[in-house]
Structure 1
């Protein structure tokens, strides 16, 4: 029996570590996943279990390589951003993979901005809102100045997707999609590494930048198979849409974060946009793409848990509700704001908010939930508008968790009457994008 030719992809998220096989039509034919408990770093803060992850990846790949059913023809990787693996000459990690939520020493941060022209000027040049450890380039500065005993052993600083590729190829490279992911490394005016990278002597630690569709080869013991260099997961998720759509569009990719992406918006960032968590990514070819971010998934979880506790309701209650226009019109007719947001700051977008939520002022769960989604979609529309201004589009695709929420979608439609709101889903879009990348030249 002849084997099915497949493209293999490791999709390494912060929580789930997944492995996929796609057939020649890029249809998923196999998947498996695992999770790892975090390992405390030297300061006691959680860090990625990078060595157990590497062991699992190699074993999973070897099992697939020896499968009687599939023949692996290509391999690629997608991984979460804002994560660096610092290695020695042999590619062995010499530090933990620091979590991007790890606190950044305040004095060191102030010193960095002072040396580099001030916070907002630096953020504008690098299209990176001030996010401390989430500006992953600043992790290297942190390593050099706060952890010199580790830094002296570092030969390469690899973004996570490229580290994953190096496990299989032994080659050290960089790619645009990771560099352009709010790292503070890239000067979007000069389209080159920012001066601070050169001044600090960090540039030699960053391997050569290759095009996103570059093919290397896996090590002989891993089959000498054509292998990609990895892609930042958000950029990977955009690729299936760019491939399928002939007209301009925006993508609202929802989950823990709602990421508004307009791949057709090349306008420079203003200081005002940066303060609203608007930034630019780099595409696989190094072109700027405007995006904005909103922490709506965690906000939704927090507020719904509060409502369930107040009305003593079972989990999943909101999922049984369908959009009702009369209820929307009722809650939107209130003159004052009623929701005290936990994570989001509506005032950043010129919107008001209640100082705290008085759940007893709502007659029932339905009105409370509608009010929350009404005020949430006001903020979401404002965040979306940041990437639509200067490059308007007619169609907005919504994928991820919120594309199944009819109340959220219908409120967006009412508030964006000139746009077509299209619920869409490429299941496992990041992995699919990575598979597409290594098949581009076929």
Structure 2
């Protein structure tokens, strides 16, 4: 049997276990994530996910020798843990009532110039979640021994070792100062310095799996677990070791995260939902974000990807979609999305594709990301019309598609043996196409968008 790396990949929508051998996907299994209603607030079904992971590890381990485990998770969740269990449920970042603490939280929150973390709705700023738990759930909070980023929660559950990592602390949490490389003054203002465990690098091994997990899964008792990484930063890892800056990676799924490597941080603007994340080597990276996957689904309806004839029909019709259809993320999160003009049901996917390409182009332009290659990975990489439209909107940049549904997990797997010694698969160049009427369509869309109050 081959020795493989198992990745626990916990996104907002799905949880997945994937096995890799030198970057080659061998096996994967996924399940839907559930949000439980509370009390004390809507929260992640961590026990359901844990049951899934144990069963999946047991199943995968019968076919492959698992040599290491790496967790990766979205950045808007954190876990208050006690001695051997959760002290409080892991909050769902879409919990709306968290806004009740905003006046008090705003007085403590450092300015954007220090954290490069914009004010985001609900619980998308992890510091706001922590403040809510301390102020509104004092009984639960008092039981906490550590506060762990979500990736490191799963590493702790596997090993019993508590750790923090900069890719997670630096993901729009308000808790980190990317340019200075240390925690922000919010940590002191909230009085939670004692809750943050030691910083470890994303690729540091934390220890072997606990004996009860070895017994439950059949894995070797000495199977090491790596600290883990924020999911968008996992998507970036293959390109950090295989490309020269500048370049931009569009990590697409529920969220579209635009990560601009080698770009100055000077044009980041919190009003645009642009910010700095921190890569696995501790370096700040200019980023933008909008909830593209969810907005696509709202506009497109039944989903799927369009063909180029549908793109041409929508452009010719003049129908446009204006932000925002998710209520969070991007430059126009507070405006209500609308569709202007008539579009046939069969062409809704084309309208959604044009909308997501136009928002991506707008954000890249505002950030000043006009040089280097554009690599689309994740869900939208399989939408050839999206990749082609983006390339036509940005003719000075080459567009590539990494048509890999396991891109995040594949990047995370690299951390088990960092830096990787094996070659990194190159993304596929997207052919340049001329799309009739696209420039005029973009101008009409931009004019309509400019009338929306920021």
RMSD: 2.9
Residue 76 of structure 1 and its aligned partner are, at CA, apart by 0.9
Q: Is the 8 A contact 1:338 1:354 kept in 2?
A: no
Question: Closer, same or farther in 2 for the Cα pair 1:414/1:438, shift >3 Å?
Answer: same
What corresponds to 1:400 in structure 2? Answer: 378
Shift of 1:145: 1.1
Does 2:202 align with 1:224? no
Match for residue 357 of structure 1?
Answer: 339
1:14 Cα deviation from its structure 2 partner: 2.4
Aligned twin of 2:113: 124
Query: Offset at 1:28?
Result: 1.4
Equivalent pair of 2:125/2:174 in contact (CA under 8 Å): yes
**SS of match in other structure, 1:97:** coil
Q: 1:209 to 1:328 in 2, by over 3 A?
A: same
User: After the TM superposition, which segments of 4 or more aligned residues of structure 1 sit over 6 Å from their partners?
Assistant: 366-369
Cα separation, 2, equivalents of 1:153 and 1:319 = 48
Cα distance in 1 between the residues matched to 2:48 and 2:338: 44
Q: 1:28-427 maps to which residues of 2 (within 5 A)?
A: 28-43=25-40, 45-65=41-61, 67=62, 69-90=63-84, 92-116=85-109, 122-131=111-120, 132-219=122-209, 221=211, 222=214, 223-246=221-244, 248-268=246-266, 270=268, 273-305=269-301, 315=302, 319=305, 321-323=307-309, 327=313, 330=316, 338-343=320-325, 356-357=338-339, 359=341, 361=342, 364=344, 373-387=353-367, 389=368, 392-427=370-405
Structure 1 residues 155 and 409, CA, compared in 2 at 3 Å: closer, same or farther?
Answer: same
The 1-side partners of 2:385 and 2:352 are apart by 11
C-alpha contact 1:104 1:133 (8 A) present in aligned 2 = no
Contact 1:12 1:18 survives alignment (8 Å)? yes
2:278 touches 2:285 (CA, 8 Å); kept in 1? Answer: yes
Task: Give yes or no for contact 2:18–2:409 (8 Å, CA) kept in 1.
Answer: yes
Q: 8 Å contact 1:349–1:382 — kept in the other structure?
A: no
Q: Please say if residues 399 and 425 of structure 1, whose CA atoms lie closer than 8 Å, have aligned partners that are also in contact.
A: yes
Deviation track 1:212-260 (CA, whole Å, cap 9, x = no partner) reads 1111221462312222011111111111222232453111122222211
How many aligned positions are there? 408
Structure 2 unaligned residues grouped into runs of 5+: 215-220, 422-454
Q: 1:14 and 1:329 mapped to 2: Cα distance?
A: 33
- State the distance in 2 between where 1:320 and 1:112 align: 44
Does the CA contact (< 8 Å) of 1:294 and 1:383 recur in 2? Answer: no
Contact 2:207 2:224 survives alignment (8 Å): yes
What are the Cα deviations for residues 179-235 of structure 1, in whole angstroms up to 9, with x where unaligned?
011011012343211112123220110101111111122146231222201111111
Question: 1:314-352 CA deviation, whole Å, 9 max, x = no partner?
Answer: x46x63522578657645xx6xx743545279xx869xx
Gap runs ≥5 in structure 1: 306-314
CA distance in 1 between counterparts of 2:345 and 2:35 reads 37
1:286, CA displacement in angstroms? Answer: 1.5
Partners in 2 of 1:153 and 1:30 — Cα distance? 39
Distance in structure 2 (CA, Å) of the matches to 1:15 and 1:298? 10
Q: Indicate if the aligned counterparts of 1:266 and 1:288 stay in contact, CA closer than 8 A.
A: no
Q: Say whether the 8 Å CA contact 2:126–2:173 is kept in structure 1.
A: yes
DSSP 3-state at the match of 2:152: helix
Q: Matched residue of 2:148: which SS?
A: strand
2:406 maps to which residue? 428
CA–CA distance in 2 between the matches of 1:373 and 1:64? 36
Instruction: For residue 435 of structure 1, report the CA deviation from its aligned partner.
Output: 1.0
What TM-score comes out, normalization by structure 1 length? Answer: 0.83
Q: Is the 8 A contact 1:83 1:100 kept in 2?
A: yes
| Distance verdict in 2 for CA 1:404–1:190, change over 3 Å | closer
What SS does the aligned partner of 1:262 have? strand
Alignment counterpart, residue 19 of structure 1, candidates 17, 20, 38: 17
Q: Of the two, which has the highest radius of gyration? A: 1
In 2, Cα distance between equivalents of 1:368 and 1:77:
36
Deviations 1:69-106 (A, max 9, x none): 4222111111121111111123x101111100012444
CA offsets 1:414-436 (integer angstroms, 9 cap, x no match): 22111111222333112111110
Kept in 2, the 8 Å contact 1:124–1:269? The answer is no
- The one-character-per-residue Cα deviations of 1:243-280 (angstroms, maximum 9, x if unpaired) are 2324531111222222111121242454xx21111011
Do the aligned partners of residues 324 and 440 (structure 1) sit closer, same or farther apart at CA in structure 2, a change above 3 Å counting?
A: same
Deviation at residue 30 of structure 1 after TM alignment: 1.6
Distance 1:196 1:338, change over 3 A: closer
